[in-house]
Chain A
């Protein structure tokens, strides 16, 4: 692997981990194992917290401001991206006090359209890259994919790791790829998609999280949304622990983004509770926690209306997308 490492200011233990393939493997396999029963029970326990009234309203607004409004379909059109951008700017047109979403997430060829629509709004444009969602292509193609998205104006890049290489133990290759894609990103933020549904164990999730953090990913993201299971609470727990530990060791704040399968306000609030309890309150900001979602936003808006209007709302009162 390339000895040209990333962050110059890593503490000695971590700097040593990225020295070569063998030490990286030693470091990742030296991470403490995840207690599967424990983490699942803890996640389920936190999920039972009751969030009501003002706290719920705050949670809904916070969750809306953390949404990466996503459309990643083969059938995407420029028109669809434009309407998504309109929704990102003003999620609930009848209620201008609803916060903007954090970003709009599209395929690279749609970035220019989204950038044009969102200029001056403060909403970021995120683009998936590196042969999303499988990641099965050559490195030059992945880098070109990334460069294409960045040149089109994307300020956030969501890359996928090579799960095949990761699962067969070629950590160095995965590390190098992330480092080079990070380099290709320039100023754009890099989110590293681990695709936890394909990693099989929590131990692997922890290793992949650390690998992505060591390689310089600004965010670690659970899934592409194309594989089931996508984001789950226990997996997000493990990843939140990783960024928390990273912060303790380096003083550096990195983000987490669960994506896929989060469809209801109830789910979103469970995630926020987990962020608060596992990582800490300083992570409760769109800079450090995001939801990758499309249908979630409508449910958040409906719940917000329910809270404010005192009666249940329905899908007839939000946009169809």
Chain B
């Protein structure tokens, strides 16, 4: 393997074999279970080792997300937009690395990988722009028959468990994570099981931008192992089952119902290259309606 990696470099250089870790609460811990698993590229060649997260890692990630929720949801929409835009800047700086990783993971040509990475960065910017427009577009001042102002404001729902798409390793990931945090939620993300490297690099991007620790937590490992614990967790408020295996999706929705979670009705195979709409932003918001007396 070392020969393969050292191709095109100094022949006597020893390859740096990587074993990546999880991203929880702004830190990079090993899995509590101590497990890791090999990640291969689309042709089956070894790329790196990734941590194989367990239910206790999921528990820690939820605790970190809950801790971060107050600060992130309380930040002004303007501030959230600035932070997310900063993330896009750092994404842009890592463009070459993402192109290589997306190309290896998805087995696409360089041109295609470039367009996927560019689309992902653009998507992130698009959602960053929405932070301070959500209240205007999805909120309302309601006409009522009485001496009151009545207005509805959208509020973030809380901690959202996101099962990232299995196929689209970066564009799909960005398309499910950005709308969750743009509106002020915090996220526990389970990365694509077989293509986790772009997600891991995204976690390095998040850690080095201004995003507060715990707002996004990224777990790698077996989706079917971790997902049930997130779906049934009493301190998780919503679930995005986009990347859940078809066989367990019904079970996940059932156990999510046990703690009355919002569950996104995700399409089974979504084309993430299409222009997004507001569906994912809207899915993790709650409407608060306030009646205020007039003339007081």
Contact = CB atoms under 8 A, between A and B. Distances in A.
Interface stretch (A43-51, A88-96, A269-277, A310-318): A310-318
Interface string A288-321: 0000000000000010010000111111110000
Interface in B38-66: 59, 62, 66
Interface residues of B, number: 12
Contacts of B234: 302, 305, 311-314, 316-317
Interface in A171-209: none
Contacts of B62: 312
Contacts of B59: 312
B149 interface: no
A312 B161 CA distance: 14
Contacts of A311: 229, 232-234, 255, 258-259
Interface in B145-173: none
- Classify chain A's interface size: 10 to 19
Contacts of B255: 311
Nearest to A306: B234
Contacts of A317: 234
A28 to B, nearest CB: 44
A310 B232 CA distance: 9
Nearest to A317: B234
B106 interface: no
Contacts of A305: 234
Interface string B227-253: 001001111100000000000000000
A316 B236 CA distance: 10
A110 to B, nearest CB: 30
Nearest to A305: B234
The CB with the most chain B CB atoms within 10 A, among A305, A314, A315, A317, is that of: A314
Contacts of A313: 234-235
A33 B59 CA distance: 42
A315 B259 CA distance: 13
Contacts of B258: 311
Interface in B190-237: 229, 232-236
The CB with the most chain A CB atoms within 10 A, among B66, B233, B234, B255, is that of: B234
Interface string B92-125: 0000000000000000000000000000000000
A258 B89 CA distance: 50
Contacts of B236: 314
A70 B235 CA distance: 26
A317 B59 CA distance: 16
Interface in B66-87: 66
A304 to B, nearest CB: 13
B63 to A, nearest CB: 9
A316 B234 CA distance: 8
A84 B22 CA distance: 40
Contacts of A312: 59, 62, 229, 232-235
Nearest to B62: A312
Contacts of B66: 314-315
B232 A314 contact: no
B186 to A, nearest CB: 14
Interface in A73-116: none
Contacts of A316: 234-235
A316 B255 CA distance: 17
B229 to A, nearest CB: 7
The CB with the most chain A CB atoms within 10 A, among B59, B62, B233, is that of: B233
Contacts of B229: 311-312
A301 to B, nearest CB: 12
Nearest to B228: A311
Contacts of B259: 311, 314
A94 to B, nearest CB: 13
Nearest to B236: A314
A53 to B, nearest CB: 15
A311 B257 CA distance: 13
A310 B231 CA distance: 12
A122 B259 CA distance: 35
A313 B62 CA distance: 11
A314 B261 CA distance: 13
Nearest to A310: B232
A313 B63 CA distance: 11
Contacts of A315: 66, 235
A288 B136 CA distance: 61
A43 to B, nearest CB: 22
Contacts of B235: 312-316
A312 B228 CA distance: 11
A317 to B, nearest CB: 6
Given A311-B232, A313-B234, A314-B66, 10 more contacts: A310-B232, A311-B233, A311-B234, A312-B62, A312-B234, A312-B235, A314-B233, A314-B234, A314-B236, A316-B234
Interface of A: 302, 305, 310-317
25 contacts: A302-B234, A305-B234, A310-B232, A311-B232, A311-B233, A311-B234, A311-B255, A311-B258, A311-B259, A312-B59, A312-B229, A312-B232, A312-B233, A312-B234, A312-B235, A313-B234, A314-B233, A314-B234, A314-B235, A314-B236, A315-B66, A315-B235, A316-B234, A316-B235, A317-B234
**Top 7 A-B pairs, shortest CB-CB distance:** A314-B235, A311-B232, A314-B234, A313-B234, A312-B233, A312-B59, A317-B234
